[in-house]
Structure 1
Amino acid sequence: MRPESTNGTGGGGLAVPMAWLCAEYLADELLRAGGLVEPGSLEYVAGRRTLALTIYLSDGAGAEDQLDEWLDRTSYDHPWQDWVRERLAAQRERAGDGEGGGAPDLALALETWRHLEETQLLATDLGALPPSPAAGIVVDESAQVWLPSWQLGLPLGHLALHLY
């Protein structure tokens, strides 16, 4: 019989990454409820991973208390990728100092970040638009570029949060 553990802090027991699993579950529920893309698609996976990292790395309590923070973190003008790198580095430092830091959770968060950076998706080049597009500007959807998947998942996650 396997030893029971719920938070990965038990002495030698089975480490269960509860914080990460909860963040991933909530991200999945938000995207499904939004109905913006087909579950299982590459876009959906990118959005779920991006939202899960945002939720996991944010401080605080439940979804209602965090919604404004998550919206701010995923907004267009927020340097999300820099924030993620800083938060992951801080968690790695805490885990290395023996202060816990949720080693199983952190391992999954680091792996997710690696996937988000390394996975490239072909998408419409929305970065070619002026910062504040005037009325009547048409996006040329044939102009496509390869982007790290977080760049596609971030606006998708932001829209899902707005629909919540």
Structure 2
Amino acid sequence: MQYRGHEGTEGIGGGERAVPMAWFYAEYIADELLRTGDLMPPTSFEFRAGRDALALTVFLSDTDGELSGIRVVSQLEHWLSLTAYDQPWQDWVGERMAELAAEEAAAAAPSPDLALAAEAWRWLEETELLAPDLDAVPGGGAVLGEDDGPKVWTPAWRLGLPLGHLAIHLF
């Protein structure tokens, strides 16, 4: 969905600028789910990773282009299945982004929604966060706190995806 409105400044061409409403709505849904779950401080990189991963899931799962008309509750199971641990989420995102880019090229009309989704995806792939190594086998002693135990640099999407999944469960 796009909104077309006036530039609002006299003397500047009177053109229209598309507003990425579908992306903004997906981001809003993701933000609300994560805030409701109260998993991370909203100012943390982990929160951003979760929000972006969840927003991509919401945005890219809208195959009918009717994101503003969906009911969040009716989509929760679908989003849970897409973000589940055993699902190839990263591959799915890549495929959906390629499909939407091809549609955009065929229509010869740039999509501000797709541009923001691509920016979020790029950040999730290229940014690494230092996080507990969830695959490590505890060696010998009990892990007492969050700061104890091995840590590894992890692509942001690998940390954000389980946070998003958990946020959906907690909703």
TM-score with structure 1 length normalisation? Answer: 0.84
Residue 49 of structure 1: which of 49, 52, 66 is its match? 52
140-149 or 38-47, which deviates more: 140-149
Give unmatched runs, 5+ long, in structure 1.
Answer: 1-5, 130-137
Q: How does 1:16-55 map to 2 (within 5 A)?
A: 16-55=19-58
Q: Does 1:118 align with 2:95?
A: no
Q: Give the 4+ runs in structure 1 shifted more than 6 A.
A: none
* Stretches of structure 2 lacking an aligned partner (at least 5 in a row): 6-14, 65-69
How far apart are 1:128 and its partner, in Å?
A: 3.5
Distance of 2:122 and 2:90 partners within structure 1: 12
The Cα shift of 1:62 comes to 2.2
1:1-150 to 2 correspondences below 5 Å: 7=2, 12-59=15-62, 61-98=70-107, 103-128=111-136, 141-150=148-157
Report the 3-state secondary structure (helix = DSSP H, G, I; strand = E; otherwise coil) of the residue aligned with 2:18.
coil
Question: TM-score, normalised on structure 2?
Answer: 0.80
Residue 162 in 1 paired to residue 169 in 2? yes
Root mean square deviation, CA, Å: 2.2
Structure 1 residue 85: Cα displacement: 0.2
**Separation in structure 1 between the aligned mates of residue 85 and residue 79 of structure 2, nearest angstrom:** 12
Distance 1:62 1:139, change over 3 A: farther
Q: In structure 2, what is the Cα distance between the partners aligned to 1:111 and 1:127?
A: 29
Which is higher, the Rg of structure 1 or of structure 2?
A: 2
Counterpart-to-counterpart distance in 1, 2:81 and 2:108: 29
Identity %: 56
Aligned length: 150
Partner of 1:134: none
- Once residues 139 and 162 of structure 1 are traced to their aligned partners in structure 2, the CA distance between those partners, rounded to angstroms, is 26
Instruction: String of CA shifts for 1:84-111, please: whole Å, max 9, x gaps.
Output: 00000000000000175x7100000000
Whole-angstrom CA distance in 2 between matches of 1:32 and 1:64:
16
In 2, Cα distance between equivalents of 1:16 and 1:74: 27
SS at match of 1:73: helix
Distance in 2 of aligned mates of 1:71 and 1:33: 16
Q: Judge conservation of contact 1:126–1:139 (CA < 8 Å) in 2.
A: no
Q: CA deviation at 1:80?
A: 0.5
Structure 1 letter corresponding to 2:124: L
Residues 136 and 150 in structure 2, CA contact (< 8 A), matched pair in contact too: no
- Identify the structure with the greater strand proportion: 2
